[in-house]
Amino acid sequence: MMKPEIQTAMNAQINEELFSAYLYAAMVNYFEEINLKGAAKWMRIQVQEEMAHAHKFFEYMVSRNAKIILKAINGPKSDWKSPLAAWEAAYKHECHITECINRLYAKASDMKDPATMQFLDWFVNEQVEEESNTSDIVAQMKMVKDAPGGLFLLDRELAARTTGAAAAPEAV
Ligand code: OFO
């Protein structure tokens, strides 16, 4: 049986992952509004990934007979001052999620819950990728600045994102 303290922390992480999906859904709309279709497509895939992350936590807790308590999801902001500001916010958010996962991992270790530590290993690796993806895009956005040509090419590149294996929910 999962210890109550871990259950509470895992429930909080489900909320964090669902908020991530909400935040990126807001960014889909923002990018659509300013006609950056590639960025919007990239973010649509990210929304699916975040839903899959929440689902992984959900199913793991079910498999451990843990009590799942779903709390209200906060509303994200819906506008950013520039595409760069939106990508910077995405990167900052992923750094925050990495901290959440690391804290969760430390708690599982303190509570001597090796199954949860093993479950979290996937997320530890995933966060390396999540941070790297968004920080690469921030760097590229800074390179093109407001040059329409560069922004157009970068947006075309973002449109090439396909649903990754990580986005495939295992048991929706
Ligand atoms: Fe779930 O990794 Fe992004 O937030």
**Cα gap 6→3, rounded to integer Å:** 5
- Tens digit of each residue's pLDDT (9 = 90 or more) over 100-109: 999 999 999 9
Whether the per-residue pLDDT at 169 is higher than 70: the answer is no
Domain 4-73+80-161, CATH 3.90.1150.10 — does that match?
A: no
Q: Where are the domains positioned within the chain? A: 4-73+80-161
149 HSE (CA, 13 A, CB side) = 0
Q: Which positions ≥6 away from 150 have C-beta within 8 Å? A: 143, 144
Confidence of residue 160 (pLDDT cuts 50, 70, 90): very high
Decide whether any atom of ligand 1 lies within 6 Å of the 20 Cβ: yes
Q: What percent of the chain has pLDDT over 90?
A: 91
- Mean pLDDT (the chain) is 94
Decide whether any atom of ligand 1 lies within 6 Å of the 130 Cβ: yes
Higher pLDDT, 32 or 167: 32
Whether the per-residue pLDDT at 168 is higher than 60: the answer is no
